[in-house]
Structure 1
Amino acid sequence: MGKKKSNNKKIQAAVTKKKIYDTAHRLFSEYGFDNVSVDSIVEMAGVSKGSFYVHFDSKYSLVAALIADYVNEVDLGYKSYFESFSADSMASDLIMSLINKIVDVITCTMGYDIMRILYEAHLTRTINTDSLLNPSRYLYKIFGNIINHGIRQGEFKKEIDVETITRHYVLAMRGLTYEWCIRYPDFDLRNQSLEHFEILLTGIKK
């Protein structure tokens, strides 16, 4: 009997946490992080404020959980996208397609508010963003796989090691996204990214 009661409590706690999580996600997307309070989250979710703090230390810790989920979902999306291409695709075409996909995710799936919060978190350390910066992320591996593919095809030079090129390509995309954030909405992330990576590709093409 005691075990059943304990299981019921765990199930109820999980349901409550998901309500808070899903509600916050919806409110952040609709109104922006700064305009959503813990009070508005719990009111919309239909849970007590105490329940919120059982699961999350603060609004920032809730965002950290959202970000971790974003990273996992986004990387799975990149993986599926990359695997949809045929094995004989040109590596440069794959790079440009990947950049298009990344821009779609940043502008449509994540959006300006979440990206702004991410960059603030990187600088202020208010949220743990290690999952985004981890070089074992699948996004890094995709860039590395494409570059290796280009070297095997004979399209790319092999004088610069793959890890170095991968690191600089990720840094370039991060820099472009930062520029988009600070100049939003007057910076065309897609056009600027495609132009920038066309230039970068000339440096590694034979």
Structure 2
Amino acid sequence: MKRAWKKIKIEDICRKAGVSVGSFYNHFKTKSDILVEMYAQADGYFELKFKNELPSESIMQDLIQYFEVYAEYNQNVGLETVQQLYTSNNKLFITKGRDMQNILQQIIERGQAVGELDQSMTSEEITDYLFIAARGVMYNWCLHDGDSDLIVNMREYMSRLITIFK
């Protein structure tokens, strides 16, 4: 049986990880610091994935690829972990200025600059809009206990959605 994040004790985490409570406190001050570290790792993953990535000929394809990477990352993190993250108590999702969002925003800005994307919304507004939808796809995957191919679902959903920004 899965327990809610707030009911999981540091001792439980340490037991599952095979480390002492003292070791935990050498790396983290609180249980919430684990989440902060997870988000930092996600940002690092996106930074590495897109650092030397050359834009394709289509901004739409770049957007789809971005969200495929988003789904791939979460799938690799694992269903149980992602299920713990997808709660309304987790406000880290809406933290502004993270590398992950900045990379998406840069793709959108590039698309707007060359006229491939609508400019009636700012790149930040479109970024927020797309992330709300992507988190919905993720949440649905969690609700169904990962019984579908997350990357395929994300690709199909976002491919349809991004057309409204042409």
Structure 1 residue 67 and structure 2 residue 35: aligned?
yes
Asked if 1 retains the 8 angstrom alpha-carbon contact of 2:43 and 2:100, the reply is yes
Structure 1 residue 81 and structure 2 residue 49: aligned?
yes
More helix by share: 1
Deviation at 1:141, TM superposition (A): 1.2
| TM-score, normalised relative to structure 1 | 0.66
- Aligned counterpart in structure 2 of residue 199 of structure 1, from 157, 160, 165: 160
Partner in structure 2 of residue 156 of structure 1: 117
Asked if 1 retains the 8 angstrom alpha-carbon contact of 2:14 and 2:24, the reply is no
Task: Classify the secondary structure of the residue corresponding to 2:78.
Answer: helix
| Identity, % of aligned positions | 19
Question: Letter of the aligned partner of 1:41 in structure 2?
Answer: C
Structure 1 residue 92 and structure 2 residue 92: aligned?
no
C-alpha spacing 1:39/1:180, structure 2 compared with 1 (3 Å): closer
C-alpha spacing 1:190/1:41, structure 2 compared with 1 (3 Å): same
Q: Give the whole-Å Cα distance in 1 for the aligned partners of 2:161 and 2:79.
A: 25
Partner in structure 1 of residue 84 of structure 2: 117
Asked if 1 retains the 8 angstrom alpha-carbon contact of 2:112 and 2:118, the reply is yes
Deviation at 1:133, TM superposition (A): 2.1
Deviation at 1:53, TM superposition (A): 8.7
Q: Give the whole-Å Cα distance in 1 for the aligned partners of 2:52 and 2:74.
A: 20
Q: Which blocks of at least 5 consecutive residues in structure 2 are unaligned? A: none
C-alpha spacing 1:53/1:91, structure 2 compared with 1 (3 Å): closer
C-alpha spacing 1:53/1:73, structure 2 compared with 1 (3 Å): closer
Asked if 1 retains the 8 angstrom alpha-carbon contact of 2:55 and 2:62, the reply is no
Question: Letter of the aligned partner of 1:144 in structure 2?
Answer: Q
Deviation at 1:90, TM superposition (A): 2.5
Deviations, residues 120-176 of structure 1 (Å, cap 9, x unaligned): xx33x4xxx443320211122112111111111221122222222111101011111
- Aligned counterpart in structure 2 of residue 190 of structure 1, from 138, 146, 151: 151
Question: Letter of the aligned partner of 2:14 in structure 1?
Answer: I
CA RMSD after TM alignment: 2.8
C-alpha spacing 1:134/1:88, structure 2 compared with 1 (3 Å): same
Task: Classify the secondary structure of the residue corresponding to 2:143.
Answer: helix
Deviation at 1:65, TM superposition (A): 2.2
Asked if 2 retains the 8 angstrom alpha-carbon contact of 1:179 and 1:187, the reply is no
Deviations, residues 59-108 of structure 1 (Å, cap 9, x unaligned): xx43x222211111111111222222225643212111111111111011
Question: Letter of the aligned partner of 1:113 in structure 2?
Answer: E
Q: Which has the higher contact order (CA 8 A, sep 6+)?
A: 2
Partner in structure 2 of residue 135 of structure 1: 96
Aligned pairs, number: 159
Deviation at 1:33, TM superposition (A): 6.9
Asked if 1 retains the 8 angstrom alpha-carbon contact of 2:43 and 2:98, the reply is yes
Asked if 2 retains the 8 angstrom alpha-carbon contact of 1:79 and 1:138, the reply is yes
Q: Which blocks of at least 5 consecutive residues in structure 1 are unaligned? A: 1-31
Question: Letter of the aligned partner of 2:43 in structure 1?
Answer: D
Q: Which has the larger radius of gyration?
A: 1
